[in-house]
Homo-oligomer: A and B are copies of this chain.
Amino acid sequence: MERILVIGGVAAGLSAASRARRLAPDAQITVLERGPAAGYSACGLPWFLSRRVPRLEDLLAHPPEFFRERRRLDLRLGHEALEIEPARHRVRVRAPGGESWLPYDKLVLATGARSRCQPERGGELRNFFSANTWQQAAALDAALASGPLRRIAVVGAGYIGLETAEALAARGLRVTLVDAHASLLHGFDAELASELPPRLAAAGIELRSSTRVLGLAGARGGRVLGLATSAGEIEADAVVNCGGLAPAVELAARAGIALGRTGALAVDERQQTNLPGVYAAGDCAETRHRLTGAPAWVPLATAANQQGRVAGANAVAHRARFPGILAPLALPLFGLEWGRVGLSEPQALAAGLRPAAMQVTAGSRAAYLQPEPITLRLIYDAVSHRLLGCHFRGAPGTVAQRLDVAAIALAAAWKLEDLETLDLAYAPSLAPLYEPLVIAAHNALGAS
């Protein structure tokens, strides 16, 4: 009986295990999760921090019993993999009851991501937090619920930092958001993102952009007093580190599993690493960008789960392949929706393409039914007219599925000309006669 061992039980790991069970009813499948919970929605953590989702348990796709009983997975919480010995097909595991070696026939690594910058003493400080995992969010929430924390410094104005800042402000806290860059929401078109600062101000958030964090300020008695920055000290009752993520590859790298150019675990399209029978999926693994074929590392949940399914299928001798990512990201922030898919103009330039862009603002429905404005920046190759990417900003309810429309057009390798005469849905109250995306393609053709 084949023994499948999966390290990591949040997203990709449980997807791999579930898929393997579906395809191999008799396999022995073990999932090691070092945290206290498996199969939860990490993207839902800001909703918990803002208290719009009352309990962390609400973020569970299923309770552990579901995975154990219905899917017959040997799901072990609080089990941390310490060492992989590929030559002997075994993993050393620290469990609540002690350490032991666990044998495997096939191994799936789904160790996820970790905070990129972790101050040396961060773990010892009682008011220094992150917000990427169940445990981290639980610790932050417990401190907020019990302590006299009023002023919170959030480090990093990428999308996780912005979501976290918004959530904490919604909870009534005084938030200062600190970021080294001049613009927010890195990776989004800077002009579209310029709408954010006034909205942060309206939400009561103090923004310190172009401000480099030099370190924690004045740690004393297990507590930090704030941040030391390039623009002076920022006092805070607590610091939340949202300063970006990196793939969690140390365990695998120590075992000789190769890293790719992005620093994540290198895999082929079957999610197999350089070691036969050892797969990697999700935020710890590198993937390819669909548009360029180039190695890419973009930690997003849908691709992580899909890679997990592919790894799980291949681990039980089925054949599945993951075709790469388009990296679509949609999120609600400060009363607007934001979306991005494909390449940004700098990314396209770096890939040797010749990006041009057409930006339009157009209505979400017929003009006589009070349309909401949608601003869209369509990026395309100036010579071949192939679509390269799309950035959106719009009212609530107007962006996420339009981003999917752009995603499919990108995945299908469409050109401006393919969009221009496409008959999309029109109904006065639901969609305009011409979708903003079609208008952008039309205008781009007129301009080119």
List the interface of chain A (C-beta within 8 A of B): 41, 43-44, 47, 52-53, 58-59, 61, 300-303, 305-306, 309-310, 321-323, 325-332, 337, 339, 341, 366-369, 397, 399-405, 407-409, 411-412, 414, 418, 421-431, 433-435
With A306-B421, A421-B322 as contacts: A301 and B426 at CB distance below 8 Å: yes
A329–B47 CB distance below 8 A: no
A425–B412 CB distance below 8 A: no
A429–B47 CB distance below 8 A: yes
* Bound Cα distance A312, B61 (Å): 54
- Give 8 nearest A-B pairs by CB, closest first: A401-B401, A412-B412, A400-B430, A330-B425, A328-B425, A303-B423, A408-B408, A58-B368
What's the number of copies of this chain in the assembled complex? 2
Residues of chain B contacted by A59 (CB below 8 angstroms)? 368
* Bound Cα distance A59, B58 (Å): 46
Residues of chain B contacted by A397 (CB below 8 angstroms)? 397
Residues of chain B contacted by A367 (CB below 8 angstroms)? 61
A404–B300 CB distance below 8 A: no
Residues of chain B contacted by A47 (CB below 8 angstroms)? 368-369, 428-429
B329–A425 CB distance below 8 A: yes
B330–A427 CB distance below 8 A: yes
Residue of B with least CB distance to A407: B424
* Bound Cα distance A433, B328 (Å): 12
CB distance from A413 to the nearest CB of B (A): 8
Residue of B with least CB distance to A58: B368
B366–A430 CB distance below 8 A: no
Residues of chain B contacted by A309 (CB below 8 angstroms)? 421
Residues of chain B contacted by A310 (CB below 8 angstroms)? 421
With A401-B405, A430-B399 as contacts: A366 and B425 at CB distance below 8 Å: no
A423–B325 CB distance below 8 A: yes
